[in-house]
Structure 1
Amino acid sequence: MIHDIHRLDAEVRLRPVTLADAAPLSVALTRSRAYMQPWEPVRPDSFYTEQGQRERLAALLADREAGRVMSWVLADEEDRAIGAFNLNAIVLGPFRSATFGYWVDVEYAGRGLATAAVRRICELARDELHLHRVEAGTVLDNIASQRVLVKCGFEQFGMAPRYLHINGEWRDHCLFQRILHDGPPTG
């Protein structure tokens, strides 16, 4: 189920985000700030504070209640959030699609956790949300994220010039999608 906990390895689980994740997300984001800078928007210092994360999470949880977003965190063995995964802009009806966004704490990067989480969330998107497709975009030089997407069955379907304002400038993005099923819209 979407709101269940899913073990990804011996130490890390994928679980729904809660307001209690504000403090550990603040720590993980601060620790990973320089590492993620090439692929992230410029954010105010307040974004990296516990209060900034609490406000962001409150908005995410409201969007989850409205059916627009599903959000999870990677949680370590002490249940501290060490990464985040979101299905954003969920559209139902005949489109049945969402956009994917994610990041993993620099201390946990390169362990296959993003790949395991993306795979699991794609299963949930197909089986629980009955989505037809999921898409994601990466800046052209984010090779690691592109590898995650390809390993999880995403195919590049285009390139969007000046797509998002990342690291202080409008950046071109590779666009990927994964078709989850070809059945009729349900749910």
Structure 2
Amino acid sequence: MIINGVEMKGLAVEHAAGLADVLARNRAAMKPYEPSRTERFYTEAGQLERIEGMLGERDGGRLVPYVFVEAGGDAVIGAMNLGSIAHGPLCSGGVGYWIDRAWHGKGLATAGLAEVVRAAREDLGLHRVEAQTMVDNYASMRVLAKNGFTEIGLAPQYLHIDGAWRDHRLFQRVLHDETPGA
């Protein structure tokens, strides 16, 4: 899928160097929204290790990881994941995403999330997709709203972000009302 000169594709080990580069460049901008990271996280070796773990989760059916890359090139400019995938009576997954600051405002997260929601419903048969944002992450809330997510509550001290436990708003989008496995 190509959006404004950017392609969203499945994560692969070949993306390790590009992820390390973009994460290092965006380190300060992402700090208020991310858990504390080791220096290794910002290296190609650290990203390769992380990718291998994510691909194991993918192979186990628990994660669908994507990257955004410049069309026709290999420069990584963001990522989106559908994780914590559960079937059976829950039939749900959670989405997370980030985009290089230089590419903000171009509709990439909105279009990418629309594709992930489509795949969650049509390819995985999930009943719902959930997301969480810090209480002041209005840009992410707009992305979720544009994709039909509704706020369902507040989770006090939900995640340890940037050195402290942070409150998060919880969102979901119900995709269908069919019986699981039907």
- Give me the TM-score of the superposition, normalised by structure 1: 0.94
- Give me the TM-score of the superposition, normalised by structure 2: 0.97
Is 2:28 the counterpart of 1:19?
no
Give the 5 Å matches for 1:39-50.
39-50=33-44
1:81 alignment counterpart:
76
Asked if structure 1 preserves the Cα contact closer than 8 Å seen for 2:67 and 2:78, the reply is: yes
Give the 5 Å matches for 1:144-163.
144-163=139-158
Distance 1:52 1:176 in 2: 31
Asked if structure 1 preserves the Cα contact closer than 8 Å seen for 2:23 and 2:42, the reply is: yes
Distance 2:3 2:123 in 1: 19
1:57 alignment counterpart:
51
1:69 alignment counterpart:
63
Asked if structure 2 preserves the Cα contact closer than 8 Å seen for 1:92 and 1:131, the reply is: yes
* Structure 2 unmatched ranges of 5 or more: none
Asked if structure 2 preserves the Cα contact closer than 8 Å seen for 1:31 and 1:106, the reply is: no
Structure 1 segments (4+ residues) deviating >2 Å:
none
Deviation at 1:38, TM superposition (A): 1.0
1:170 alignment counterpart:
165
Distance 1:52 1:94 in 2: 36
1:29 alignment counterpart:
23
Deviation at 1:80, TM superposition (A): 2.3
Asked if structure 1 preserves the Cα contact closer than 8 Å seen for 2:18 and 2:74, the reply is: no
* Structure 1 unmatched ranges of 5 or more: 1-5
Distance 1:111 1:19 in 2: 26
Equivalent pairs counted in the alignment come to 181
